[in-house]
Homo-oligomer: A and B are copies of this chain.
């Protein structure tokens, strides 16, 4: 690849002005009842001390997906299996430091993955209905992430990433209700999940709450089969 810049004493010189590129990551978690988002406290200006999405500047030797993954690991020590790109935000005044275009991703992680505060900044979960004031246009990015998540929930096996390997049907249902913001009938919900083939029953759990719950697991084989039939499989 040709070099498209001239290295000077103070930096890098380009013929035309360029926007900077960042990535930001909306990390969803589930506490059994509410959908949560992971935010980091900014340690530097601008917006020092306020909460923001984990993210940062694109390096020259990485793709945007790699950048999102790297920044996420640096700031929260999380390494999700999968991240989904869902939008680009490029308003002229979205960053007071200058012209910054951000590529936004979302990911889903199990809340059992504890956040290691390995750098100075704090990282905390917030229920999505009760977010603190956010830096930049990050509220808008979260709103878009929420729409993308609702869109994708039925067509990609992403919900299961928020739960333990084994989960009860009420847990799964509460998750769907938290994401989609509506209520389902228990019996119909279970019937549909079973009919789609995306979950398989395992065994009864020891009781932790009230009555013992039957446990299920996500069925990746069935999902793979559904993807291979170009006849778009059932939704789940």
Contact = CB atoms under 8 A, between A and B. Distances in A.
Interface in A19-76: 19-21, 57-58, 60-65
Given A2-B98, A17-B12, A63 B85 contact: no
A4 B99 contact: yes
Identical chains in the assembly: 2
A62 B87 CA distance: 17
Chain A: interface secondary structure? loop
Given A10-B13, A60-B99, A4 B21 contact: no
Identify the interface centre among A19, A57, A182: most chain B CB within 10 Å of its CB. Answer: A19
A52 to B, nearest CB: 18
Interface in A140-165: none
Contacts of A92: 1, 61-63
Given A3-B98, A182-B230, 16 more contacts: A1-B96, A1-B99, A2-B96, A2-B97, A4-B20, A4-B97, A4-B98, A11-B15, A12-B14, A12-B16, A16-B57, A18-B21, A58-B90, A58-B101, A60-B99, A181-B230
Pick the 7 closest A-B CB pairs, nearest first: A4-B98, A63-B90, A13-B13, A18-B18, A11-B15, A64-B90, A12-B17
